[in-house]
Amino acid sequence: MNKYAIFRMFPLLLITLLGVAVTAHASIKHKPNTNAIPGGIVILPLGEYHQPPKAFFAKQPVLVMPAKQPDHWQAVVGIPLRQPLGEAFITVNDQPIHFVVNAHEYPSQHLTVQRHHVHPNPEQLARIRRETQQMQPVYRHYRRSEGWPEFIWPLHGRISSPFGFQRFFNGEARNPHSGLDIAAPTGTPIQAPAAGIVTLTGDFYFNGKSVFIDHGQGLISMMCHLDRIDVQDGQTLQAGDVIGTVGQTGRATGPHLHWTVSLNDARVDPMLVLPNTPTDQGHAR
Ligand SMILES: [Zn+2]
């Protein structure tokens, strides 16, 4: 080799190294906030692999993203609201990786709704069961994608009901609140909170007109109670694309968006996936 060849190669080498660094940086730029409680999210280091390793939590595939160190990976795990407290684990190549789920007391909320939304008749119950079966595979679908997407607020408004509240409808205990409610006038445009693919649209008994967005690797958004749906199944979305407008279809006491975020089929607090923003969102409590 000519003694100058190494100097000629140096800029190329530098560009290559910079390229690798920038690529690695871009894929770990966004990640959620963590909170190891039911309805929360944990990030667990998985160690070194040349390919993204396959991780599972309660048989559901888990979102995996690159860690800071080259060839190192981390799992982003959604913790279901019904997860028992204490030790839990995911598996990677059949090896357990442990974490601890801490106690958290969500406040209670009392709401008054129409009687048929608390005591559905047999026909309505059959419809609810059908719709639950329709949604289950959408929540459990795992589409290969890279890393964690960047999230934005789907709309600006008062938070009328935070995630996780113990709910009493007309005095009767029901499931805890599995999403975040943002109140806004009927007709307010709703934006896709992150890039993804529309995997289901419909008009459901409790959720009203709804749009499911698959953000990849088992990370799913459900946007509910819409007045109008502006997207179709299979449509590709960027964060900020309008998917429809605020309404009060289904079981709703006023016009608002109910936004569910699901990770490995666990409904988690949407506040954890949003960027840390100032208090202009109006945390009404
Ligand atoms: Zn809600």
pLDDT tens across the length of the chain (285 residues)? 455 554 555 544 444 444 444 444 446 789 999 999 999 999 999 999 999 999 999 999 999 999 999 999 999 999 999 999 999 999 998 899 999 999 999 998 888 888 888 888 999 999 999 999 999 999 999 999 989 999 999 999 999 999 999 888 888 888 899 999 999 999 999 999 999 999 999 999 999 999 999 999 999 999 999 999 999 999 999 999 999 999 999 988 899 999 999 999 999 999 999 987 544 444 433
pLDDT, position 9: 53
- Residue ranges of domains in the chain, CATH in brackets: 109-281 (2.70.70.10)
Query: How distant, in Å, are the alpha carbons of 192, 198, 209 from that of 222?
Result: 10, 10, 10
Q: Give 55 Cα–ligand 1 centroid separation in angstroms.
A: 30
Q: What stretch of H or E contains 129?
A: helix 122-140
CA–CA dist 133, 150 (Å, integer): 30
pLDDT, position 146: 87
pLDDT, position 284: 35
Q: Give 77 Cα–ligand 1 centroid separation in angstroms.
A: 22
pLDDT, position 221: 98
Residue 104, SS3 per DSSP: coil
Q: Give 108 Cα–ligand 1 centroid separation in angstroms.
A: 14
Q: Give 258 Cα–ligand 1 centroid separation in angstroms.
A: 4
pLDDT, position 167: 84
pLDDT, position 20: 43
pLDDT, position 170: 87
* Residues measured by CB to lie within 5 Å of ligand 1, the ion: 179, 181, 258
Residue 218, phi then psi, degrees to nearest 5: 80, 10
Dihedral sign from CA coordinates of 94, 97, 103, 106: negative
- Read off the tokens for 227: 């007045």
pLDDT, position 157: 95
- CA geometry: angle at 268 spanning 47 and 112, to 5°? 170
User: Taking Cα atoms as reference points, which of 86, 93, 63, 69 lies closest to residue 20?
Assistant: 69
pLDDT, position 8: 55
pLDDT, position 175: 85
Q: Give 230 Cα–ligand 1 centroid separation in angstroms.
A: 21
Q: Give 118 Cα–ligand 1 centroid separation in angstroms.
A: 15
Q: What is the pTM of this model?
A: 0.86
